[in-house]
Structure 1
Amino acid sequence: MKILVDESILYAKRLFSYLGCVETITSKAISTSSIMLADALIVNSVTRVDNALLNGSRIQFVGTVTSGTDHIDIDWLVEEGIEFSAAEGCNAIAVVEYVFSALLWLAQRDNFSLSEKTIGIVGVGNIGSCLHHRLSAFGVRTLLCDPLLAEKGEPGNWYSLETLINQVDVLSLHTPLTRTGRYATWHLIDEQILAALPDHCILINTCRGEVIDNTALFRILEKGKSFRVILDVWELIPSLPFLLSYIDIGTAHIAGYTLEGKARGTAQIFNAYSKFLGNTMRINSKSLLPFPLLERIRMHGKLNEEVLRLLVHSIYNICHDDIRLRRFSGLSSEFDYLRKNYYHRREWSSLFVETSDRTSADKLMQLGFSSRLYTL
């Protein structure tokens, strides 16, 4: 089997070599001619996979190491009988920890307590539900908005977007990007909604840039509206520097870029392709990970917001990514460079926290840290 793999996908060459002959290629070089002799194609989010790319090829399997699939024409793959797999949920923990890092940083800067805020979560899939569970574990009130799940009768207290705007202090977006249908998310947050956001509100977007009308956001912030904004995704890359000057935190679409998340994504697609081939080999993503730079901490006293911030920012401080992006001049190539050369960020689970307080140990485990009790 010949397997064509985007060279930027971590651990891919090593893993897929167990299943066939692997050829790595840059995302920009993936074309109709380059895939002609391949049996499987493994991509990330920057490669559009559709009829234009695959028609006439012998591709039997397409895998994307991302949870999002708006770059894949799934309906066409199904029609052609081409097996497809996405790494659903692989980056959910990474995105949730990014949101926590951002909120804890803002709380320190602006002198508020996270536990006093109500957080509205728009889109309650893998990421939104994980965020809800971790915030709840830390005692933060959340309101959930997902009209698709509400319509399906999924259990939960569901709120409309309009209700969230009137009742929450933080609005965090975790929807897919859809352009048609009753619940299309393209420009879901438009000028009217932006104008309705109260001045104390914090708006966070880590899903897709087009979910917020960036032009309207720039216009309304330029006029002096004072709500706070955290953006990891952008609608128009060349105009990013203009918007960046008005927001509180900006990063280069790296919210989901942890080493653990990348390992999970690659392992999920490897396991799916192995199963497709009838192979019994399966990989646990944890077996791929190196030792973290910071592995163990002993904590004295009870877990509170200040201690959580110290723990979180010892692993990942979002300010570093904000600083990197603020040097950006507006060239798409520079933006791509920031993403391609992103450092190996770790998740909270990589840090083992010892504590003498049982309640704190339980809460740390619920939040995603590794933890155990010790005796003095």
Structure 2
Amino acid sequence: MNIVVDKDLQELSYIFGKNANFNLLSLAPENIKKENIKLADALFLRSVTKIDDTLLKDTNVKFVASLTSGEDHIDHEMLKKTAINLSTGKGGNTSAVVEYFFSALSILLIEKKIIPYKTKIGIIGFGRIGKKIKSILDLIEFPNTVYDPYLPECVSSLEDVLDCDLISLHCSYSTTGKFPSHHLLNKSHYKKIIENKYLINTSRGEVLSEEFFQSKGEKFIFDVWAKENDMDFSKIQKPFIATPHTAGKTFGAENNFTKNAIKDFNSFFDQKIESSNLDKTEELKIDKSIEEEIKIFGIPAALILKIYNIKEDDLSFKKFFESRQVSKSFQDLRISLKRKGFDNYKLVGELNSKSKAILELLGFRL
């Protein structure tokens, strides 16, 4: 069986490469083209490769796995007209993105840019990530509201959310449908937001219009960008915190994507391939000071930043903005910044029940 794997999916290359029953071809994303994958039975790809007619028409491909949570690079309508089986990683990086949000929140709390228990947080999008963030905010008693026009239980309007002091985007990206999210926040919202709102975007860059990227947003925290494969840094300004689409890049998320892709591959081809377990846990000693910190900030802000401080990714990304030119190495930087997640840490120490509940919901092992 012929297998083509994106070269940056190294665990999959290892799994198939050691099995003599498979002919493995590992390709850089720019080389994943029709002429190079024509004889493949299965493809394992990332979001940088468009899964469409241009790639798949007149090929032998029967199975495609997309090891990412987003799906805007997939032509679902085209696939419905074929016999090609699709596997996606939807939800695989939920915990990782939630960790990014709370790292950002920790910075804002410690730097006294927002007020614990008083600053109202608006969530746009109530899928897996939005639900998890809200459940934690509810537990720590931070006021919040949610906008999602597809879900009747979300009664807040977009304007209600935009009235909040901190807004976080977690909607899927779409250009069609009843409520397309393309440029969901646009020129008509820009002035109101840039003047006095903190804005976090970990969804897709295209959810925001160009105005949000063309001026220096002193209160913007952006992890996603328009045209990430060919970013022109002469046309965008660095916001307060800028990271290269690393919110979902944990070892745990990668493990989830790999396990799901292998499971679907085995089911479709009736195979028994086993995926490796990349979940490695290390112990981290904590003391009663965590309880005091949670009492002050609602969350263990210093502990969170010790494990993952998004400002470190911001520092790595800063040179791209300073170059003021088109960059082709965005994806290389993104891949290099993969990290451990909260679930890679087992916290050891005596804590009260409320602190334990918060830490467990954040994803730590106890």
Give TM-score scaled by structure 1 length. 0.87
Conserved? CA contact 1:61–1:83, under 8 Å: yes
Could you tell me which amino acid in structure 2 is paired with residue 113 of structure 1?
I
2:279 corresponds to 1:289: yes
Could you tell me which amino acid in structure 1 is paired with residue 300 of structure 2?
L
2:288 maps to what in 1?
300
Deviation digits for residues 249-291 of structure 1 (CA, Å, limit 9, x no counterpart): 00111111111111111111111111111235564x7x22345
Conserved? CA contact 2:140–2:298, under 8 Å: no
Conserved? CA contact 1:203–1:227, under 8 Å: no
2:351 corresponds to 1:349: no
Distance 2:243 2:200 in 1: 12
Q: CA deviation at 1:124?
A: 1.1
Aligned positions of 1:1-376 closer than 5 A: 1-17=1-17, 20-150=22-152, 156-166=153-163, 168-197=164-193, 199-214=195-210, 216-218=211-213, 221=215, 228-235=219-226, 238-240=231-233, 243-245=236-238, 247-279=239-271, 283=275, 287-292=277-282, 295-301=283-289, 302=291, 304=294, 305=297, 308-328=300-320, 329=323, 330-342=325-337, 344-356=338-350, 357-371=352-366
Q: What SS does structure 1 have at the residue aligned with 2:122?
A: strand
Deviation digits for residues 164-185 of structure 1 (CA, Å, limit 9, x no counterpart): 112x111111112211232111
State the Cα RMSD in Å.
Answer: 2.2
Deviation digits for residues 105-132 of structure 1 (CA, Å, limit 9, x no counterpart): 1222235334322211111112212222
Q: CA deviation at 1:349?
A: 1.3
Distance 1:33 1:189 in 2: 39
Distance 2:5 2:147 in 1: 37
Distance 1:178 1:359 in 2: 39
Deviation digits for residues 67-126 of structure 1 (CA, Å, limit 9, x no counterpart): 111111122112111100101111111111111111211222235334322211111112
Could you tell me which amino acid in structure 2 is paired with residue 244 of structure 1?
Q
Distance 1:253 1:307 in 2: 24
Distance 1:291 1:6 in 2: 28
Q: What SS does structure 1 have at the residue aligned with 2:226?
A: coil
* Unpaired runs of at least 5, structure 2: none
Q: CA deviation at 1:14?
A: 2.7
Distance 1:15 1:114 in 2: 46
**CA distance 1:244–1:355, shift in 2 (3 Å):** farther
Conserved? CA contact 2:233–2:327, under 8 Å: no
Conserved? CA contact 1:117–1:169, under 8 Å: yes
Distance 2:65 2:193 in 1: 39
Distance 2:61 2:131 in 1: 35
**CA distance 1:290–1:351, shift in 2 (3 Å):** closer
**CA distance 1:146–1:16, shift in 2 (3 Å):** farther
Q: CA deviation at 1:241?
A: 5.7
Distance 1:45 1:345 in 2: 19
Identity %: 30
Distance 1:113 1:196 in 2: 20
Give TM-score scaled by structure 2 length. 0.90
Q: CA deviation at 1:331?
A: 2.8
Conserved? CA contact 1:178–1:184, under 8 Å: yes
Q: What SS does structure 2 have at the residue aligned with 1:34?
A: helix
Conserved? CA contact 2:232–2:327, under 8 Å: no
**CA distance 1:201–1:258, shift in 2 (3 Å):** same
Conserved? CA contact 1:355–1:361, under 8 Å: no
Could you tell me which amino acid in structure 1 is paired with residue 198 of structure 2?
I
- Which range is displaced more, 117-126 or 43-52? 117-126
* Unpaired runs of at least 5, structure 1: 151-155, 372-376
Number of positions where the alignment pairs a residue of Structure 1 with one of Structure 2: 354
**CA distance 1:240–1:198, shift in 2 (3 Å):** closer
Conserved? CA contact 2:307–2:342, under 8 Å: yes
